[in-house]
Every structure is written in C-alpha cells, then in structure tokens.
Amino acid sequence: MSQTDAAQKLAYALRFGDTALVLSHRLSEWCGKGPALEEDMALANTALDLLGQARHWLTYAGELEAQGRDEDALAYHRNDREFFNLLLVEQPNGNYADSMVRQFYFDAWHALALRRLLASNDAQMAAIAEKALKEVSYHLRRSSDLVVRLGDGSERSHAMMQAAADALWAYTGEMFMGDAVDADAAAQGYGFDPASLRAPWLDYVREVFDEATLTLPNPDAWMHQGGKQGRHGEALSYLLGEMQVLQRSYPGAQW
C-alpha cells in the first residue's frame, strides 16, 4: 500500500468513526431530558451503540495510521478541522423532532452504507460493518417508526416533523457526494461510491415519508458539503471543546 493509499484509507475510516462519535455525543446531550422515559433509554442505547462503533473505527484508524495513536488520542486530540464527520450529525439537537429526523436521515444512510461495507475487501472494515449493521438496523426501524407515528400523529407533531425534515434536508446531500477519498475506496475495493446510495436512500425516505404523510423536500435542492473534508459548521468546535476538556486540561494523565 503506498503512502497516499494509506492516508486515503485512514481518512475513510475516520469519516465513519468521527460520524459515529459526534452523533453519539449529540444524543448523549439528551440524557435525562427526553420526552418520555422510554425515549431516554432508547437515546442512551443508540448513543452507546454509536460510541462502540466509533471506538472500533478509531482504533482501526490508529492502526492504519501506525503512529501509535489509539482511540482516545484520535478522539481527544484532534480539532474540528481534523474531524471528518458528516455535517448532518453535528447539527445541534434542536427540539426532539429535529433530533429524530436527523437520526432517521442518518440511519437510513448508515444502514445502506454498512451493508455496502460488508463486501469490503478489508476484512477489518467488513467486520466492523457487520457488527454495526445489526445495531443500526434496529436504529433505523425505531427512527422510521417514530417518523411515521409523529408525522401521521397530531397536527402539531406533523408540523414539527415537517419543519425538521425541511430544515435538515440541506445537510443530507453530503452523504452522497464523493471525493478523492471515496474514489480511492471504491477503486481499491474497500469502500463504495457514495452516489450509488442516493437512489435507494431517496426511495426509502420517500416511502417512510409517504406513510408519515410528510412531504419529501426537493431532492435537487442545493446541499451543504465540507464535513467529510474537515470544513464544519460553527457548532462542532464547541462540541469538541466540551468533549475534550479533561484530556486537554490534564495533558498526559491516565483516566
């Protein structure tokens, strides 16, 4: 593997790891503040699954990098310009409708993405994906179910879900935009072309929205991008500052 190849693959692993880590963080911000006890449990559970996945990805990224950085070094000692998560998952929680729609958009992509990674020629990536897919399939069932029930619920819940669906829409396009890292992943056979997930994702989201009586936003609307390349919104550096505060304040300490 050439040095460039290794760097591309590392970036690829970090994108999955950072995305899982950042979304886990956002979900954990809900702790004790959900709209029902069952939701508190489900949020913590999803956050925990994603955190576990992030740890696998970051540990593997550390191996690919081969500079001796472990999951914690990668999670706690990079700034937001070195994080490669999707913009969608860093969006602030907003109200619970916002958080649920964010989750639904993401889960629908995540399940598709992991399914493609099952065929990765990188055994470790395939193994991480296989374990994660079991969890994510459940996440997707849950978030799809909530979208349907709240979309086709009361007038108020419908309006809130539609507003959330519209507001977050512009952050979904990035999931399907490829760059050199994606091209390398697809060419080398350890990853896939993200554009190929767009049609099935749209089909699935459309189907769920139909059942939820929600209007699908315009698929050809302008979309944000940059997260996968480390260009984030203003919220991420606050999130990381909070997450990293102890590691940054007590350099070298063991916990």
Partner 1 sequence: EGQERVFQERIDAGVKIEPKDWMPEGYRKTLVRQISQHAHSEIVGQLPEGNWITRAPTLKRKAILLAKVQDEAGHGLYLYSAAETLGVSRDALIAQLHAGKAKYSSIFNYPTLTWADIGAIGWLVDGSAIINQIPLCRCSYGPYARAMVRVCKEESFHQRQGYDLLLALCNGTPEQKAMAQDALNRWWWPALMMFGPSDADSVNSAQSTQWGIKLFSNDALRQKMVDQTVPQAEYLGLTIPDPDLKWNEERGHYDFGAIDWDEFFNVIKGNGPCNRERLATRVQAYEDGEWFREGLNAHADKQAARGAAAA
Q: Which residues bind partner 1 (CB under 8 A)?
A: 21, 25, 28-29, 31-41, 44-45, 47-48, 51-52, 54-55, 58, 71-72, 75-76, 79-81, 95-97, 148-150, 152-154, 156-158, 160, 167, 170, 222, 224, 226, 231-234, 237, 241-243, 245-247, 250, 252-255
Q: What whole-number distance in Å separates Cα of residue 28 and Cα of residue 239?
A: 12
User: Shortest distance, CB of residue 176 to its own copies, whole angstroms?
Assistant: 33
Is 134 or 238 the residue whose CB approaches its own copies more closely? 238
**Three-state secondary structure along 185-221?**
HHHHCCCCCHHHHHHHHHHHHHHHHHHCCCCCCCCCC
Is 136 or 239 the residue whose CB approaches its own copies more closely? 239
Is 131 or 158 the residue whose CB approaches partner 1 more closely? 158
Q: What whole-number distance in Å separates Cα of residue 37 and Cα of residue 41?
A: 6
Is 67 or 255 the residue whose CB approaches partner 1 more closely? 255
Query: Over the range 225-238, which residues count as b (16 or more CB within 10 Å of their CB) and which as e?
Result: bebbbbebeeebee
167 binds, among its own copies, partner 1, none (CB under 5 to 8 A by kind): partner 1
User: Shortest distance, CB of residue 101 to partner 1, whole angstroms?
Assistant: 13
251 binds, among partner 1, its own copies, none (CB under 5 to 8 A by kind): its own copies
Q: What whole-number distance in Å separates Cα of residue 44 and Cα of residue 25?
A: 10
User: Shortest distance, CB of residue 245 to its own copies, whole angstroms?
Assistant: 4
Question: How far is CA 179 from each of CA 61, 82, 187, rounded to the nearest angstrom?
Answer: 19, 16, 12
Quick one: how far is CA 16 from the chain centroid? 7
186 binds, among partner 1, its own copies, none (CB under 5 to 8 A by kind): none
Is 112 or 148 the residue whose CB approaches partner 1 more closely? 148
Q: Which amino acid is at 181?
A: V
Other residues' Cβ atoms within 10 Å of the Cβ of residue 222: 8
Give residues in contact with its own copies (CB under 8 A).
Answer: 79, 238, 241-242, 244-245, 248-249, 251
Is 68 or 251 the residue whose CB approaches its own copies more closely? 251
- Residue from 242, 239, 241, 245 nearest 23 by CA: 239
User: Shortest distance, CB of residue 187 to partner 1, whole angstroms?
Assistant: 27
